[in-house]
Structure 1
Amino acid sequence: MAAAQQATTSSVRQVPSPVQHFGFNIGDDYQLATYTQTADYFKQLATSDRVKLTDIGLTEEGRHQYMLVISSPANIRLLDQYKQTSQQLARAEGLTPAQAKALADKGKAVVWIDGGLHATEVVGTHQLIETAWQLVSRNDPETMRILDNVIVLMTHANPDGQELTTNWYMRHTDTLKRSTDQLPVLYQKYIGHDNNRDFYIMNMKESANMGRQLFLEWMPQIMYNHHQRGPEGSVLAGPPYRDPFNYFFDPLMITGIDALGAAMYNRLNVEDKPGYTRLNGSSFSTWYNGGLRTTTQYHNMIGLLTEIIGNPTPEKIPVVPQRLIPNGATPNPVRPQADWRFRRSIDYSVSLNYAVLDYAARHRDEVLYNIYKMGKNAIDKGNNDTWTLSPSRAEAITTAYKKDQQDMTRDDANDPHGWNRRGSNIDIQYYDAVYKDPAQRDPRGYIIPADQADFATAVKYVNALIKAGIAVQKAKTAFTAGGKQYPAHSYIVRTNQAFRPHVLDMFEPQDHPNDFQYPGGPPVRPYDAAGWTLAFQMGVQFDRMLDDFSGPFEQLPYGELQSPEAYTFSPVTKGGYLLNTQVNNAFIVVNDLMKAGIKVYRLSKGTAAAAPGTFYIPAGMQANNILKAGAAQWGVAPVAVAKQPKGVVEAAPLRIALWDSYGGSMPSGWVRWIMEQYHFPFSLIYPKDIDGGGLKQRFDVIVFVTRAIPGEDGARSGYRQSQPDPQQVPEQYRHMLGRITKDTSIPKLKEFLEEGGTVITIGSSTNLAYHLGLPVHNALAEKDKDGKEQALPAAKYFVPGSILQVSFDSTRSVAWGMPGTGDVNFDNSPVFRLDSDAAAKGVHPIAWFTTDKPLRSGWAWGQSYLKDGVAAFEASVGKGKLYAFGPEITFRAQSHGTFKLLFNGLYGMK
């Protein structure tokens, strides 16, 4: 396009084109740009008066993460004013509809476009470069209209990943050998692909950087998250998305996605660019929170996702016959072809960006007013009695009616939408019994008491809300609400705020529908988790307030992160101190003490004043200094005692090894990050290290996250099946190659255990118990007609990522500090049945299901099968100990409520 290659103003003439800067056109075959080159180019673009370059923070590897703000020169001069307007409309606080309309008329639409989050999806970073260049250089009427009416936030989502991926791809001089496959390490320092699962807690620096711009600074009305890859036989998948969507959403958010989706695929059709699929044409839905575009949807922002094909190495569109039938999901199928070029994917992406930006420009006042309207609706709902529509409540109506009518028939699914029915026999009283029941109202707010045992973790939860732009209050003094007394410094989160959907989603259970391909058929897998309630995962205690309440509350400034309450430390010269093992941060202090060579003890039996596992530290100058710092920084309150309690045992620091693999394991990366945050020293260990034997001479405990240990049949357990040719791998990465095998690795692990080592297994890595021949079996199995045990079919039992409740034996040292019952993150996780002689053989349960309805949040089909199943156990193996945790106790560094199950296992006892 000629207009894209010309510049007419003096400021634009100084900006080089991509080919002038990089030495190749964006989209050229076999060419990728590094982040170093891209950052330099962003700085070149910033010499234009259409651009402001913003450094939004450092990445985990220390690179500067940049965002280009692009608009007309006149708008660039007034960015602060337009940002304030965007904030006012998004928060909707104190604005009348007339005032909001006036602001919308004067404001500019704010649109976020990102690229590169998943670094091997290389279209994302390169469409960002190309689109930025075109917006800066073009002067056609459409571009000028966009610049006059829209402020574009072009955000690089993963600088570290682009640098790694491009260097890996370009390392071969022979272009035919170039590939983004087989990266040696994760393309985000700790979590790789899971960097798109971090946005409601924002543990990673990149997530926090982007979250600050999205939820506290700019609050765009539309955000567009670029990914790949498109479903086989298509070019891309995009909006609108398949059901279900979350019931907390305002309908304007969903219909806004519909409108933008129409603009996007209409433009492609006008430009003769086929292959767009939507709705059930792909697996993408709007149910899950936690992704870069999905978390924004809980903030009333029109969150868009596309997944496109494309690679600098030419590829093909394969023959997929079912994709060649035009239908509502794919109105304009693409024909199979053997030579799809990278530049075509770039051109599609630029067209999609322009479709979104043109829509925002043409409907500027509408998108600005609509985000206000959604926020105002949320505030009104939070100020009144409201009942959220949901599947369980609809089912309650049906169940009550059928019970009264003694109707035991089941729906035959012949008329799922009720099109053949002209009326219903269900009286309004059944609706009223559910949707006018005062006990089933949505809360007006939540109180997080300051006197809960692990208040420091509760503060981390509050900070997750604050980073997401949620309004939080804090009690200046003690108060009473709902007939209950609360201490000063308790936190209050009200639901009468614009981002109410996100507030409810972090506190309330998710109610995923029973979603099956057909009645009696297999379930439709959720795109990601089905339930994730963060307060449950973190073990935070809170009270749901169904009625309005007031108190001595102060509104915290938006974005002001909180610190644990600093305790006054009064040193003693005799005796020592107790640290509550229920407090996760106590492990930070203990690790700092151990690093300084200070002895730490634990109460083996507990006392009237202290639970089993409580830490005891003898008084001393060095210990006092570390405890004082811990009280101030980590909110850990030492309790002075006059003498050492009876029954203490010394807690020994262990030599810790954490399994990882070539290419990087995301679950291992999360644990690596957790251990660093809690000051546990550790080493990474790879399959070759295990196969070499002599493990007990080097380590005391080895941690295997999920997908490390294969099944009994030797089947791979989830990490890369194919291993690269060692000769094609740089020398510094070759030690990472290999995998855990039944014949070589397992005997070495058994030897390690028998010699006194400890092995901690999580998720599918509990397969190790079966390899060792322990008296445990799969509790989720049934016998077939031949009497052989088979895993329950998904049509009978299916629990995708959800939160379930279990009972804990907190007298077991590995469960010290755990409550009697608690929540665990469960993703079709292993559940065990212990043989009758298990205890005699040294196998004891740690956690188990005591009810046939353990679901707390998400979806659990056939959950009655879980009753009496063992979720976690410990086993003696020779002189050593195996810990098997079926649930994901370290899940994405979110499940703080179960971190102690790992932490306790990382100490020895002398």
Structure 2
Amino acid sequence: MCPLPRPTMRRVFAPLTALSLASLLGAAAPAQVQAQGRITTPKEAFGANYGDDYFLANYQQISSYWRTLEQQSPRVKLRVMGKTTEGRDQLMAIITSPENHRNLERYRQIAERLAKAENLTDDEARALAKEGKAIVWIDGGLHATETLGAQQLGETVYQMASRTDAETMRFLDDVIILFVHANPDGNDLVANWYMRTSDPKERTLTGLPRLYQKYIGHDNNREFFTSTQKETENINRALYHEWFPQLLYNHHQSAPAGTVVYSPPFRDPYNYNLDPSMLLGIQALGTAMHSRLAIEGKPGATMRNGAPYDGWWNGGIRNTATFHNTIAVLTEMIGSPTPMRIPLIADRQIPRGDMALPVAPQLWHLRQSVDYSVSLNRAVLDHASRLRENLLFNIYRMGKNSIERGGRDTWTPNPRRDAEVAKRVKGADSLIWAAQHAPDYRDPRGYIIPSDQPDFLTAIKFINGLRETGITVQRATQAFTVNGKSYPTGSFVVQTAQAFRPHVIDMFEPQVHPDVFPYPGSPPTPPYDNAGWTWAYQMGIRFDRLLEPFSGPFTNVTDWNVAPPAGTVSTGAKGYWIDPRVNDAFTVVNRLLAAKVSVARATQAVTVGAGANATALPAGAFWIPASSAALNVLRTAATELGVNATGATSAPTATTPLRAARIGLWDTYGGSMPSGWARWILEQFNYSFSRVFAPEIDAGNLRTKYDALVFVDGAIPGVQAASRGGGSGGVLDEPANLPAEFKGQFGRMNVDKSLPALKAFIEQGGTVVAIGNSAVNLAAFLQLPVGNHLAKDGTPYPRTQFYVPGSVLRVKVDTTAAAAFGMPGQADVFFDASPVFTLGADAASRGVRPIAWFEGTTPLRSGWAWGQELLDKGVAGVEAKVGQGRVLLYGPQITQRAQPHGTFKFLFNGLYR
């Protein structure tokens, strides 16, 4: 069973005082600066060089070596950014000249002042830029199986600590370099797995037993605007609260076939919220990187349409940085500790704008990739050195532009709306332009998040996500009125007149992805990641958009993480009610059940109290009979979580008792990212559960151990795929020397054993929650009257007619269904090529009912939905009775990357007996 975690999703940071920051930065005293001595080489430290065939240095080795370099070179100072998820120290190596180290805090302050762009004139900013030093962030190892990242980072740190050539010395004088290991836990896991075999020729990365970030694996570069994981928190704190670099370089693998490396400029589209100088800055830096490789005779670099990377999405480390005016790039490069081959791809042998210098097919070694990476790192440092003042001034100017845009009427481009207006308005261009820039289409001057909304605690989590990415947030110190509407004390305000305005707009406003078709009638060109993600929508919070300037009794929030206001617990009551609309109510209930306290749920709406003190609660409200044990749990939860317990003088009659369910969460050998996200969410809300793997499912008798099983997208195979030996996750052959701890995890879900075992579990009274394609496949196996709504005459619509990549859509919700208790009548769901159901004519008679469905022809809220009218009347959530049990089927990704708090209740409600 998973241990109970910390009580809430609220992240805990200590306030950064002047003293603690000085300690963090290590303002060097003269005694700390020693002469450059002999530098230990990697070969001397490890017995191998970075990039040698069949060798990977793990984080323990790299971090130990960095500590050696810190002792040997006055250029190197190490800082612990924080702890990783598994408890390691996450290190940053700050490398610059000894003279710069002595003035490090001054240069950091200059970078902060210029990045925030507040209360500065252009002349003052130019003076600061002239005085300051460029700050460049270079990371590695984020995706640990992309083994080049950590190795090139280690090699570059060694070279910058030891080289004495004129170019290196210029870099050290002009630039403060932040070398960041982005995933220490994963580096140790992957390198140790690869090196576990003594025979080098038998070493392999195949069969890694678990995710290389404990919970989310590869998605550790998909959550930089939510900051759920410790490593992400550490990085965002360094980027947006401490260092404010002008350039950021994020290393990845792998390059398109027939090339060595992909480097910006990126392909279109670019996000419309970005400053124009950001687009041009990325192009300039990318061109400098390509040019260096060409000058050094390093072929095989491609750009723009040479790969699918675009400038649209927000969420990766380099993506989120651009919304903070940091010119940020990534590269994708080939490389493996086991030598590999570059294949012959005929159309990549002809020079063109996207690849000026093709590479010949050949055997390729990791050391070659390390050398390419070092060249690219040096290209970035050269760019920073030569354009130091420009870069420092430009980040200020982009911030100042954002402040100015937030203080006047602006219109963010919206191709869909502009096209609709152009069709509607007839006449001169000036009339069309005026209609496209109507007052109602203006960007907001700010947002108000009222403190009296039902789930204000989730709104606080949203605010904390903004704060962790450096957004200025204000809080009302007393009640106020704007545009005739009253708001209570404690409401939050986010003004758009701030330097990081692009990120503010991107979190609150819908993304309008353009319709990208290479030619008329062609399939659409997919976005690199999601097309829409508006986090305020996914969180399910209430906020108001203000189009005119406004002010009030506001004070800046200075907390790293805002604590929820203390909840209240009535005294002298026969029992207590908890509002089911509050996500953290489920945390309280789980604590109560764990303490053996009785809990029940109302089967219909209830009114607590009378007259002006009456409180209306929807169906699903939690009832807790009074007891000393209950009172202890409720009071602690009120203090820690802010959840209110409203007392009642009489016990209700229309309630259903709850019992803690024995929960199993499917996972697979090697790890499932969707399962990892669900695991993290369940831990945050204090659910007790076990992870369940295919062998345990195949063994049957599941009902003796579990009451509810959760299957995320990719867990349950289709009947046809399973019958061919396919299925979900894992690898086909058991790896050699598999540690005993993983043997019970190895295997795949299959049609012969797994699915019949699930059917028996349900028929015997169990509950299954299935998400995405797992929901489709389970419904088919159980022969439920559930079909594909996105098909005509049994044939799915082609992408030329219907295409919805990751986007936010709106559904109607049946709030009388127990599976939807606490949900609003309409909800925003995350939809990513998700299944949509149609119910058969006999569905109701067979105990199958819709929980949520699409209504109308325009459900798109944020992103891209080509052919969205085809969703009308399609069902997004289904509840079905099967024997003595039930299944809950959800097409949308209700736990997507832990972002859609607004749909967590679809999962939570299914996990009680």
TM bucket normalised to smaller:
over 0.9
Give the distance between the partners of 2:283 and 2:767, measured in 1 at CA: 54
Contact map agreement 2:852 2:876 (CA 8 A) in 1: yes
| Residue of structure 2 aligned with 1:671, choices 651, 672, 678 | 678
Query: Is residue 241 of structure 2 the alignment partner of residue 204 of structure 1?
Result: no
Amino acid at match of 1:756: G
Give the distance between the partners of 1:79 and 1:456, measured in 2 at CA: 39
Amino acid at match of 2:76: V
TM-superposed deviation, 1:728:
4.2
| Residue of structure 1 aligned with 2:872, choices 867, 872, 877 | 867
TM-superposed deviation, 1:400:
2.2
Give the distance between the partners of 2:414 and 2:604, measured in 1 at CA: 46
| Residue of structure 2 aligned with 1:31, choices 55, 62, 66 | 55
**Alignment-derived partner of residue 775 in structure 1:** 785
Contact map agreement 1:577 1:640 (CA 8 A) in 2: yes
TM-superposed deviation, 1:745:
1.1
Give the distance between the partners of 1:719 and 1:181, measured in 2 at CA: 17
TM-superposed deviation, 1:10:
7.0
Which structure 2 residue ranges, 5 or more long, are not aligned? 1-32, 608-615
Amino acid at match of 2:910: G
State how 1:701-720 maps to structure 2 within 5 Å. Answer: 701-714=708-721, 719-720=728-729
Query: Is residue 900 of structure 2 the alignment partner of residue 895 of structure 1?
Result: yes
Q: Secondary structure at 2:36's aligned position in 1?
A: helix
Query: Is residue 359 of structure 2 the alignment partner of residue 359 of structure 1?
Result: no
Amino acid at match of 2:430: I
Q: Cα deviation per residue 1:416-473 (whole Å; 9 max; x = unaligned)? A: xxxxxxxxxx5211011111x1111000000000000000000000000000000000
TM-superposed deviation, 1:491:
0.4
Contact map agreement 1:709 1:717 (CA 8 A) in 2: no
**Alignment-derived partner of residue 790 in structure 1:** 795
**Alignment-derived partner of residue 734 in structure 1:** 743
Q: Cα deviation per residue 1:168-207 (whole Å; 9 max; x = unaligned)? A: 0001111111112221000000000000001000000000
Judged with a 3 Å threshold, the aligned counterparts in structure 2 of structure 1 residues 718 and 206 are, in CA distance, closer, same or farther, namely: farther
State how 1:547-696 maps to structure 2 within 5 Å. Answer: 547-557=548-558, 560-572=560-572, 574-608=573-607, 609-696=616-703
Give the distance between the partners of 2:443 and 2:326, measured in 1 at CA: 22
Give the distance between the partners of 1:537 and 1:665, measured in 2 at CA: 22
Q: CA RMSD in A?
A: 1.3
Amino acid at match of 2:621: T
**Alignment-derived partner of residue 272 in structure 1:** 297
Amino acid at match of 1:730: P
| Residue of structure 2 aligned with 1:849, choices 842, 854, 877 | 854
Amino acid at match of 2:760: E
| Residue of structure 1 aligned with 2:154, choices 122, 129, 147 | 129
Q: Secondary structure at 1:57's aligned position in 2?
A: strand
Q: Secondary structure at 1:489's aligned position in 2?
A: coil
Amino acid at match of 1:778: N
Give the distance between the partners of 1:761 and 1:578, measured in 2 at CA: 30
**Alignment-derived partner of residue 823 in structure 1:** 828
TM-superposed deviation, 1:726:
4.9
| Residue of structure 1 aligned with 2:255, choices 230, 241, 244 | 230
Amino acid at match of 1:594: L
Amino acid at match of 1:108: K
Give the distance between the partners of 2:834 and 2:718, measured in 1 at CA: 14
Amino acid at match of 2:765: G
TM-superposed deviation, 1:710:
1.4
Q: Secondary structure at 1:450's aligned position in 2?
A: coil
Give the distance between the partners of 1:258 and 1:133, measured in 2 at CA: 29
Give the distance between the partners of 1:397 and 1:366, measured in 2 at CA: 40
Query: Is residue 364 of structure 2 the alignment partner of residue 340 of structure 1?
Result: yes
Contact map agreement 1:723 1:737 (CA 8 A) in 2: no
Give the distance between the partners of 2:134 and 2:416, measured in 1 at CA: 38
Q: Cα deviation per residue 1:523-568 (whole Å; 9 max; x = unaligned)? A: 11111110000000010110000000010000122x6210111124
Bigger mean CA deviation after superposition, 273-282 or 744-753: 744-753
| Residue of structure 2 aligned with 1:751, choices 739, 753, 760 | 760
Q: Secondary structure at 1:359's aligned position in 2?
A: helix
Amino acid at match of 1:431: W
Amino acid at match of 1:581: P
Q: Secondary structure at 1:830's aligned position in 2?
A: coil
Contact map agreement 1:122 1:311 (CA 8 A) in 2: yes
Bigger mean CA deviation after superposition, 618-627 or 650-659: 618-627
Contact map agreement 1:707 1:717 (CA 8 A) in 2: no
State how 1:75-90 maps to structure 2 within 5 Å. Answer: 75-90=100-115
Q: Cα deviation per residue 1:263-297 (whole Å; 9 max; x = unaligned)? A: 10100001000000000001111111010110001
Give the distance between the partners of 1:131 and 1:727, measured in 2 at CA: 34
Give the distance between the partners of 1:836 and 1:393, measured in 2 at CA: 39
Q: Cα deviation per residue 1:659-694 (whole Å; 9 max; x = unaligned)? A: 000100000000100111000000000111111100
Give the distance between the partners of 1:118 and 1:718, measured in 2 at CA: 25
Scaled by the length of structure 1, the TM-score of the pair is: 0.94
TM-superposed deviation, 1:727:
4.2
Bigger mean CA deviation after superposition, 728-737 or 358-367: 728-737
Amino acid at match of 2:666: W
TM-superposed deviation, 1:301:
0.6
**Alignment-derived partner of residue 6 in structure 2:** none
Judged with a 3 Å threshold, the aligned counterparts in structure 2 of structure 1 residues 568 and 759 are, in CA distance, closer, same or farther, namely: closer
Amino acid at match of 2:286: G
Give the distance between the partners of 1:482 and 1:695, measured in 2 at CA: 58
**Alignment-derived partner of residue 330 in structure 2:** 305
Contact map agreement 1:120 1:165 (CA 8 A) in 2: yes
Amino acid at match of 2:906: L
Give the distance between the partners of 2:756 and 2:80, measured in 1 at CA: 52
Q: Secondary structure at 2:631's aligned position in 1?
A: helix
Contact map agreement 2:727 2:748 (CA 8 A) in 1: no
TM-superposed deviation, 1:606:
2.2
TM-superposed deviation, 1:326:
1.2
Q: Secondary structure at 1:668's aligned position in 2?
A: helix
Q: Secondary structure at 2:548's aligned position in 1?
A: coil
Query: Is residue 46 of structure 2 the alignment partner of residue 22 of structure 1?
Result: yes
Contact map agreement 1:450 1:488 (CA 8 A) in 2: yes
Give the distance between the partners of 1:791 and 1:87, measured in 2 at CA: 53
Q: Secondary structure at 2:283's aligned position in 1?
A: helix
Give the distance between the partners of 1:683 and 1:427, measured in 2 at CA: 63
Percent identity of equivalent pairs: 52
Give the distance between the partners of 1:516 and 1:743, measured in 2 at CA: 43
Contact map agreement 2:415 2:512 (CA 8 A) in 1: yes
Scaled by the length of structure 2, the TM-score of the pair is: 0.94
Judged with a 3 Å threshold, the aligned counterparts in structure 2 of structure 1 residues 561 and 688 are, in CA distance, closer, same or farther, namely: same
Give the distance between the partners of 1:613 and 1:472, measured in 2 at CA: 34
Give the distance between the partners of 2:782 and 2:727, measured in 1 at CA: 20
Give the distance between the partners of 1:598 and 1:173, measured in 2 at CA: 55
**Alignment-derived partner of residue 434 in structure 1:** 436
Paired residue total: 869
TM-superposed deviation, 1:392:
1.6
Contact map agreement 1:803 1:824 (CA 8 A) in 2: yes
Q: Secondary structure at 1:540's aligned position in 2?
A: coil
TM-superposed deviation, 1:397:
3.8
State how 1:312-323 maps to structure 2 within 5 Å. Answer: 312-323=337-348
Query: Is residue 486 of structure 2 the alignment partner of residue 461 of structure 1?
Result: no
Give the distance between the partners of 2:35 and 2:744, measured in 1 at CA: 52
Bigger mean CA deviation after superposition, 42-51 or 87-96: 42-51
Query: Is residue 230 of structure 2 the alignment partner of residue 239 of structure 1?
Result: no
Amino acid at match of 1:582: R
Contact map agreement 2:567 2:641 (CA 8 A) in 1: no
Contact map agreement 1:397 1:431 (CA 8 A) in 2: no
**Alignment-derived partner of residue 519 in structure 2:** 518
Give the distance between the partners of 2:560 and 2:848, measured in 1 at CA: 48
Give the distance between the partners of 2:35 and 2:144, measured in 1 at CA: 32
TM-superposed deviation, 1:722:
3.6
Amino acid at match of 1:849: F
Give the distance between the partners of 1:373 and 1:833, measured in 2 at CA: 53
Give the distance between the partners of 1:304 and 1:469, measured in 2 at CA: 20
Give the distance between the partners of 1:836 and 1:599, measured in 2 at CA: 40
Judged with a 3 Å threshold, the aligned counterparts in structure 2 of structure 1 residues 717 and 96 are, in CA distance, closer, same or farther, namely: farther
